Amino acid sequence: MTVQIKTIDLEPKRHTFGHIARRLGGDKPATRYQEATLDLQATDNFHYKPLWEPEYWHYDTRKTAVVMEDWYKPLDPRQFYYATYNISRANANQAVERNFTFVEERDLLGKLDAALKAKLISGLLPIRHLHWGSNMNMAEACQRGYGTAVTAPCIFSAGDHLGMAQIVSRIGLLLDEQTGAALDTAKDAWMNDPAWQGVRRLIEDTFVERDWFHLYVAQTLGVNAVLLDLVYKHADAAWGPAAVPVAMLTEFMADWRAEEGKWSDAVVKTVAAESEANKALISGWAKTWIDRAEAAARPLATALLGDAAAATAAADAARTRARSLGLSL
């Protein structure tokens, strides 16, 4: 006699939430990303008008000049929601820790000569202040933005910038035997060194930009694509014998740029493709901020590398990137 084990497949009554099903055009299994993103932000029935800005509601599409019929169109190709973002960053952090252990055990930074240490302190460490400013900007884009599809990855990006600022700070602590003196010197360079003043002025000017998508373009195509790429991608030659340990310790920044670039490019591309008016606005913003970032990057590139060619290279790469997103510069 054979025993046949039978199974019954119970069809669930619903595969996903009603508001997700309406988005997907039918009741089918949705991904966690979709369920954690689509139509999550409140849109109606706020109790109190925000008195600090009474011309707007809390979430208001008019807080930027670009117009989207649906702010859930610019989705994140990485499909990050809370869990996937944190898992991905926890893994990245393990790699960072391993690299720091490697460099610390061999004392690769501690045994550099004093001149090179001083160059790292005044040339690399001040970028932690730029990361902090970028953190402010992405948090601002999150709080003024519209729709979870854009605002959630913005706050992830803000977290990434804080993490990168911490990585840079730890490089400083490796250089000064954990006293923090290098960070004070770097702060002074950020405040007073002529090489950094253009960068500082640029990031401080972005702080007062109230149009959140304008700010988003300034941050992703200006700060990230020109200034961060200059320091992390085009400045290897500046660090001489320290180039390899610096590249190891800033590996996360390179990986992050490649990964976040996919998202920020997709958002800009989608919003620009929505209408000619959007495209014209975003093109104007991109041109302004890439040009400004190039001007700010020139003295920094000269201080690091001896001439401004790397600044031009970074800015040209940013322009090519912007054009590939459908912008006309």
Partner 1 sequence: MAQIASITLLHNDDARPIIEAILADNPGVRVLNMPGAVKLDRDDELVINRASVEERLGRSWEPQEIQLVLISMAGNLDEDDDHFTLSWKH
Contacts with partner 1 by CB under 8 A lie at 7-10, 29, 31-33, 76-79
Nearest CB to partner 1, comparing residues 122 and 264 = 264
- Report the residue count for the chain: 329
To partner 1, the closest distance from the beta carbon of 72 in angstroms equals 16
Find the shortest distance in angstroms from Cβ 80 to partner 1: 8
* Distance in Å, CB of 76 to partner 1, minimum: 7
Shortest Å, Cβ 239 to partner 1: 29
Residues 224/257, Cβ–Cβ less than 8 Å = yes
Cα separation values, 193 from 18, 40, 176, 299, Å: 57, 45, 20, 10
Residues 6+ apart with CB under 8 A from 325: 265, 268, 269, 272
What is the smallest separation between the CB atom of 5 and partner 1, expressed in angstroms? 12
The distance of Cα 242 from the centroid of its chain, to the nearest Å, equals 26
Task: Compute the distance between CA of residue 210 and CA of residue 140 in angstroms, rounded to an integer.
Answer: 9
Nearer to partner 1, 15 or 170 (CB): 15
Centroid of chain to Cα 194: 26
Query: Are the CB atoms for 309 and 238 separated by under 8 Å?
Result: no
State which residue, 35 or 236, has the beta carbon closest to partner 1.
35
Between 64 and 264, name the residue whose CB sits nearer to partner 1.
264
Task: Pick between residue 31 and residue 197 the one whose CB is nearest to partner 1.
Answer: 31
